[in-house]
Chains A and B, each alone.
Chain A
Amino acid sequence: MNKPVNQKAWLLVLPVIVCVAFSAILPLMTVVNYSVQDIISPTRHVFVGTDWFAQVLREEELHGALLRQLGFSLAVLAVEIPLGIALALAMPAAGWKSSAVLVVVALSLLIPWNVVGTIWQIYGRVDIGLLGHTLAKMGFDYTYTGKPLDAWLTVLVMDIWHWTPLVALLCFAGLRSIPDAYYQAARIDGASQFAVFRYIQLPKLRGVLMIAVLLRFMDSFMIYTEPFVLTGGGPGNSTTFLSQYLTQKAVGQFDVGPAAAFSLIYFLIILLLCFVLYNWMQRVGTGDKGAGHE
């Protein structure tokens, strides 16, 4: 086939290039610029090469925050994905009940992040909060401002409360797109309910689950507002996640160089993990078992 050659077509791409340049490339380059310079004053700056990167990577505080962050994101995925699937399976498929449940489930998604933080801040208080008070009455020594584990768990539960509905809605949509014939065939084949889930619903949900996993991973890996409002990163730095660490560096201490270096590392970590997750989920359940099978 002969494709017509017309270099003027580049003009059509130009608006996109301009938009992306101003919204993504230029800010990113600014960060790159900061990351390789020591800015002493607005007029004096020294090129330092990869010194900031080396310094940031050696920081103990960062290692702690990174581990906390990984643990948090894994916990978020481990709870929200199965819970979201379970919710979607339990939701009524059609009729007014379905609509009503959808609205109720989606409710928490409409609340702004800082409001979520505030809600949980009050909810978890032992003196006036429903959750904190109830736990205290039940004999638990619960205080999210005092005990690191309590704080960490509260942030986790808050995230689950806030974002599981997203997973549930995605899965609900995925489930509705499975043709009836599959369920009919499964009934004919005598499949148990578990087999229907394992061999029909779960494989057909693969696409939406991939989106859910990536979204929840990226979002939870960048979580900032809620722990900031709820615990401010404490007690100690038990709920100081990467973005908070970064903000402290950049805005709190105004260490722009190391902060820029770290934000690039942060960016690469997310990119790398998403790449790994995406490829793994693409392949899982589709690989050929090979010709050796009889």
Chain B
Amino acid sequence: MAHIELDLAHSYRADPKTDADYALLPLKMDFRDGGAYALLGPSGCGKTTLLNIVSGLLAPSQGTVKFDGRDVTRTTPQQRNIAQVFQFPVIYDTMTVAENLAFPLKNRGVPAAQIKERVGVIAEMLEMSHQLGQRAANLAADQKQKISLGRGLVRADVSAVLFDEPLTVIDPHLKWQLRRKLKQIHHELKLTLIYVTHDQVEALTFADEVVVMTRGRAVQVGSAEALFERPAHTFVGHFIGSPGMNFLPAEVDAGNLKLGPYQLPLPAGRTLPDGELRLGVRPEYVTLAEPESDGALPVLVTQALDIGTHLLLSATLGDTPLKARLAPDTPLPMPGQTLWLRLLSPHSCFYRNEELVA
């Protein structure tokens, strides 16, 4: 178990010039000992690169990786004592399930009795005890991935266990089960876990802290709540949430907030810098209002869907598209109808140059 500190950048090119040449822009990051982290971002954002740098499969082109204050930048995964689980199941075809699980221990010369005990514990956790004697090659993909997970978890003394989108090949209902299993294992073993995914639900349910990445940059590190309530970057607002945050062009002039032609009272206790801004509102925090009431804005409904748990409303305010999640008992609005919505609330966020300002 280790506290991991990163201060690095990485480029797959020999002489990176522009930001676009970097797979990872310069970043500093801290992974607490025993924490459960998720790296979340779309494909190609650099999350797998970051993971491979932590595990030692890849050396960063600049900067350092420290485990418990010790510089391990140039050391191998073995020396770092890292476990990693990959996107697609990697199993040793000729071995049984038990032999597969025992392999990382056997390679490290752990005594046979101890191996047997650990394999038993892990198999129990993954509910594979009854399959230990089976040849691993004959199992289904999700079973194979469970073996991969098991091999990642079988060593009790690892510095950290890294997961690279490990549930991609797993059926949805099993996915949910395995995710809970991982969470439970985290509580039981107190390992440092780093989990890469592009699925926000996976990241938010699994991790204590989520690192949101885009285009080689870690734009925000925070809890699920922080990412939802106060996205530090418009990308986070957009990426987290379903649907993502609404962004509306706004202007502040001497303390007055203007949204297009509409003048709105500032939420109580908020001060905003003058000039152009973007207002960020979660669809969850858009509420229905009485026509012409104070602070309400008229929107044109383009589509309304009753999803059961809520009403998903698509509308436009002037030219700006807007999404809202309304209470399920709201009467279903018709396309073309005008609705009055209240956008501002204590939850509203304001952005300038993509960064949160208030």
Chain B, range 236-283, C-beta contacts under 8 Å to A: none
- B78 at interface, CB cutoff 8 A: yes
- B353 at interface, CB cutoff 8 A: no
Chain A, range 168-207, C-beta contacts under 8 Å to B: 179, 181-182, 184-185, 187-192, 195, 199-200, 203-204
- B133 with A188: CB separation less than 8 A: no
Number of interface residues of B (CB under 8 A): 31
- A285 with B93: CB separation less than 8 A: yes
Provide the B77-90 mask, 1 if CB < 8 A to any CB of A, else 0: 11000111011101
If the complex has contacts A181-B86, A288-B134, A290-B133, are A189 and B103 also in contact, measured as CB distance less than 8 A? yes
Assembled-state Cα–Cα distance A291/B133 (Å): 6
If the complex has contacts A192-B107, A203-B92, A204-B93, are A187 and B76 also in contact, measured as CB distance less than 8 A? yes
- A293 at interface, CB cutoff 8 A: yes
- A59 at interface, CB cutoff 8 A: no
> Which residues of the partner chain A approach B133 to less than 8 Å between Cβ atoms?
289-294
Chain B, range 132-156, C-beta contacts under 8 Å to A: 132-135, 137-138, 148, 151-152
If the complex has contacts A189-B103, A191-B107, are A181 and B90 also in contact, measured as CB distance less than 8 A? yes
- Stretch from B64-72, B94-102, B188-196 that touches the partner: B94-102
> Which residues of the partner chain B approach A292 to less than 8 Å between Cβ atoms?
133
Q: How far is the CB of B138 from chain A (nearest CB, A)?
A: 7
Q: How far is the CB of A71 from chain B (nearest CB, A)?
A: 30
- A188 with B83: CB separation less than 8 A: yes
Assembled-state Cα–Cα distance A216/B92 (Å): 28
Q: Which of B88, B98, B107 contacts A189 (CB 8 A)?
A: B107
- B92 with A190: CB separation less than 8 A: no
Q: How far is the CB of B149 from chain A (nearest CB, A)?
A: 12
Chain A, range 266-294, C-beta contacts under 8 Å to B: 285-294
Q: How far is the CB of A227 from chain B (nearest CB, A)?
A: 38
Q: Which of B90, B94, B107, B152 contacts A190 (CB 8 A)?
A: B107
- A203 with B94: CB separation less than 8 A: yes
> Which residues of the partner chain B approach A294 to less than 8 Å between Cβ atoms?
98, 132-133
Q: List 24 A-B contacts (CB under 8 A).
A: A179-B88, A181-B88, A181-B90, A184-B84, A185-B151, A188-B82, A188-B83, A188-B104, A189-B103, A190-B107, A191-B103, A192-B107, A203-B92, A285-B93, A285-B94, A286-B93, A286-B137, A287-B135, A288-B138, A289-B96, A289-B133, A293-B96, A294-B132, A294-B133
